[in-house]
Amino acid sequence: MANLILASTSKYRRELLTRLRLSFEAVAPGVDEAVVKAAGGPARAVVEELARRKSEAVRARRPSDVVIGSDQAAVLDGKILDKPGTKANAIAQLRALRGRQHQLITAVAVSHPDGIERFTDVTNLTMRTLSDEEIDRYVCAERPLDCAGSYKIEGLGVTLFEQIESRDHTAIVGLPLAQLSDTLRSLGFTLP
C-alpha cells in the first residue's frame, strides 16, 4: 500500500483528513500560488490548477505515494477573495460579502502512480446583511485572517449566514471528505 500524503500546511485540512482515521503525512507543496493567480483566468480554473500543482509537486518527490492536493477560494462576482491577512482586510471582505451570495470553490487533486483524480466542490453561501458593528465584533472574536472569505464556518462564522447550499459541509472548511473518501477507496485505502 502506498503512503498517503497531504500536500498542505493547512491546519484545517490536516484536522479534516484526521477524521478518516488513515495514517498520513503532511508535506508543504512549495508551490508559488501568486504565479498561478497572476496568470488570471476563471476563478474555478485557478483553484483547480493550484490543487493539481500542489499534488504533483509533492508527488514528484514521492512518486510511489498517493498525494492529496487541495485549494480553496471564496469568489464574489467572479473575483477571488484572498486570505485577508489583516483585520482591516477581513473587515473589508465581510463588508463586501454582507447581504450577498458568493461561492466557496474547493478543488482536490489526488496524484497516484497511475495518474490523477480530480474533483471540485462549489458551495453557495448567502451572508446576512450585517452591520459594521457585527462585522467588527466577529473579526475581533474569531480572527479569521487565514481563511478564504474572512470567516470560519466551523466556528462562530456560521452565524454570519442566512443560507448555505453545499453537497459536503467539510468542503467549506477546506477538504470535501465525502468525495475524497470515495476516491481513496478506489485507490485501495480501507475506510468504513
pLDDT digits (tens, 9 = 90+) for 129-143: 999 999 999 999 999
Q: Which range marks the domain in which residue 62 is found? A: 4-186
158: in domain: yes
**Is 71 among the catalytic positions?**
yes
191 inside domain: no
Alpha carbon 124 to its chain centroid, in Å, reads 14
Domain annotation covers residue 61: yes
Residue 192 resides in a domain: no
- Whether residue 136 is contained in a domain is answered as yes
For the segment 109-120, the average pLDDT, to the nearest whole number, is 96
- Average the pLDDT over each of 11-25, 28-42, 50-64, 95-109 and give the range with the smallest value: 28-42
Residue 90 lies in a domain: yes
Which alpha helices (H) appear in 40-150, and where do they start and end?
43-61, 87-97, 132-142
Residue (of 66, 62, 64, 54) closest to 24 by Cα position: 66
Domain count, the chain: 1
d(CA 136, CA 124): 23
CATH of the domain at 67: 3.90.950.10
Cβ–Cβ < 8 Å for 76, 100: yes
Could you tell me if residue 57 is inside a domain?
yes
Instruction: Report DSSP state, residue 2.
Output: P
Cell, residue 1: 500500500
Catalytic member of 32, 65, 71, 82: 71
Domain-embedded: residue 19: yes
Q: pTM higher than 0.85, yes or no? A: yes
